Amino acid sequence: MNQAPAAVFEAARSENRAALIGYVPAGFPTVDESVQVLQAMLDSGVDLLEVGLPYSDPLMDGPAIQESVEKALMAGVTTTDVLDVVRRLEPGPQQAVYVMSYWNPIERFGVDRFARELADAGGSGVITPDLTPEEAGPWIDATDAAGVDRTFLVAPSSSNARIDVVSRVCTGFVYAASTMGVTGARDAVSDAAPELVARVRSRTDKPIGVGLGVSSGQQAASIAAYADGVIVGSAFIRRILDAPSLNEALAEVTGFAAELAAGVRSGA
């Protein structure tokens, strides 16, 4: 089994830093190559890995993630392939592997089956960006039974009452989306992020990860000053998309992960 996310955040906190969280979809560029990319991220300083489950209607995803997911889907990647990618990864003793998935593929696969097979594959948790707590009863039961952590999202528009509801059903960390738009690397992270994190922190003691927009080590450092986790996805994917070969993609991912890892440690 992988580490529980709580242990990952506790280990980062013991070093007076934020955890680095990285996202790339399984099956991109291919299933085997995605294992190499994701493992390179773990080996280069990513503490908690988000393995994306490709889905044909990614409402929250910006151009880079949409392009990567489309490539995976065109290659025929399935939910079983995603679970196999998780099984093939080798995280360290203070690292964890999550799956990030829209709800429809999990429901189609079978809620109990997905939670059980993810746990069997060594996965620690799941982020479900479009599942609301009110509709999550079967998922809460399944993840509790399988020992899999679950993470839901809050946004700048979330009321304090909504933050309370979401925080209560999260067992891993609370995902704070720093903008109201789709994912994508940005030159500047939303000014709403610090205020949102402060509001969430005043209402729960669970770790808080900030995502949507991080594209540099400097931005990672600025978010690490107030969040428990810094989430990076599109900027990793863009480097893979732009690389002319797998070896160059691996070099880009390795260098960028190291830059971000240095960023989350810069205030330590």
HEC assignment per residue over the chain: CCCCHHHHHHHHHHCCCCEEEEEEECCCCCHHHHHHHHHHHHHCCCCEEEEECCCCCCCCCCHHHHHHHHHHHHCCCCHHHHHHHHHHCCCCCCCEEEEECCHHHHHHHCHHHHHHHHHHCCCCEEECCCCCHHHCHHHHHHHHHHCCEEECEECCCCCHHHHHHHHHHCCCCEEEECCCCCCCCCCCCCCHHHHHHHHHHCCCCCCEEEECCCCCHHHHHHHHCCCCEEEECHHHHHHHHHCCCHHHHHHHHHHHHHHHHHHHHCCC
Token pair 């600025």 is found at 222
Look at residues 73, 141, 76, 145 and name the one whose alpha carbon lies nearest to residue 102.
73
CB 64 within 8 A of CB 238: yes
Known catalytic residues are 50, 61
CB 135 within 8 A of CB 152: no
CA distance 170 to 132: 11
CA distance 208 to 230: 9
CA distance 84 to 35: 9
